[in-house]
Structure 1
């Protein structure tokens, strides 16, 4: 039964159906990535709606999108589950990243504008600040932002969407396993090498730096999962 306006939440009264869907999607995805919704946990649409202060419809639509992203799955007669952590899955994601991201960074190196190069430098600066206080969530989110800027810099929307999905699927493993301070310093160094190559428009160096970055992630994840 459709709810009357009196039953609408505050969020629903001030946003469009499209923005509600996007809000629900981004909020639930953030909770999955940061393990607020834990791997293997069953999530109930009614409870999620209540926690987020959103209606059942945008939450249901968000979960459908997250299924396509590979973050949740439906178990017959049981419900919706946050996809459990699997070493095979993350290794497959990394394998795909090694096939796609080195080629993508060559495009980004050739096509990035001054604003994007400046944004990458700003991200590295903020990441150093959060690394100093060991805020894993903020470092993870900045890692995501760094790669999203590079994806947009390819000037290829299809490729950028593929890169976004791959990277976001790998972030849970980042959050679960990569708590070592030394590794965070390595990530900063690797991002710095990528940025230097992009700034210098050196596609070969950028590709090599990206490969080292992804291989480093694979080696670290393999030790923890």
Structure 2
């Protein structure tokens, strides 16, 4: 049984507020409203997103639980930076997981919806107006959603998070240098492969997408003035303490 969104008096239930905060902050992280590497506090989130303190705490805790942020003593929460190591890890993980999309089986309703989306995508393809780009990306996201609905739910959950990471990296790197946008040039071929039920073609188009994103990420990184941060391994390696140093010299 689903939990109620409102109480009997019509006021949003506390758990509904918490869920809203969690979704809102995740969306803000993915769209880089909260920038990679930024340190935020509960008070920041209350001011910026109109949340209660309890909701802000719940949202930040969820980001921490899902690996999007880490608590910092006395300062707040550090949002996961975008690093070269992170980009490589995300792309490598997608190369392992995305071949499962070749086994997807669309329901009749999903196939009918995809046919409708294909006609809209065709009309929007290649247009550069802001509204057209936003609409194009909305429908591409819906195609991704239809694919995730049609595969093993555990694999789908893993892929959804990887795609969230890829989306955040894309949004972040689109904002550097000449602010060039990333375009899904393979999307029409992917849609046709899905409609044809051609698993091998689906895998091929997804691999082409990963290669195109990798090229875009590298090109934009070379235009970025943002200092690259060390990978998690370097950050996690403790520096020798004075006592350790003294023991070595003894």
Q: TM-score normalized by structure 1?
A: 0.80
Larger deviation, residues 58-67 vs 22-31:
58-67
- Find out whether 1:94 has 2:88 as its counterpart: no
- The aligned residue for residue 113 of structure 1 is 107
Give the RMSD, CA atoms, in angstroms. 2.6
- The aligned residue for residue 72 of structure 1 is 69
Q: Name which of 80, 83, 93 aligns with 1:83.
A: 80
Instruction: Kindly report which structure 2 residues correspond to 1:52-71, keeping only aligned pairs within 5 A, or say none.
Output: 52-71=49-68
C-alpha spacing 1:118/1:219, structure 2 compared with 1 (3 Å): farther
- The aligned residue for residue 15 of structure 2 is 18
- Find out whether 1:209 has 2:198 as its counterpart: no
1:132 counterpart SS class: coil
4+ residue runs over 6 A deviation: none
For structure 2, the residue ranges without an aligned partner over 5 or more in a row are 1-9, 222-250
- Conserved? CA contact 2:46–2:53, under 8 Å: yes
Give the helix-richer structure, 1 or 2. Answer: 1
C-alpha spacing 1:129/1:200, structure 2 compared with 1 (3 Å): closer
2:69 and 2:126 mapped to 1: Cα distance? 29
Larger Rg: 2
- Conserved? CA contact 2:125–2:136, under 8 Å: no
The size of the alignment, in residue pairs, is 206
Q: CA deviation at 1:122?
A: 4.8
- The aligned residue for residue 180 of structure 1 is 180
Q: CA deviation at 1:97?
A: 0.5
C-alpha spacing 1:90/1:53, structure 2 compared with 1 (3 Å): same
Q: CA deviation at 1:129?
A: 7.2
C-alpha spacing 1:90/1:120, structure 2 compared with 1 (3 Å): farther
Q: Name which of 171, 175, 180 aligns with 2:167.
A: 171
For structure 1, the residue ranges without an aligned partner over 5 or more in a row are 1-12
C-alpha spacing 1:139/1:47, structure 2 compared with 1 (3 Å): farther
2:71 counterpart SS class: strand
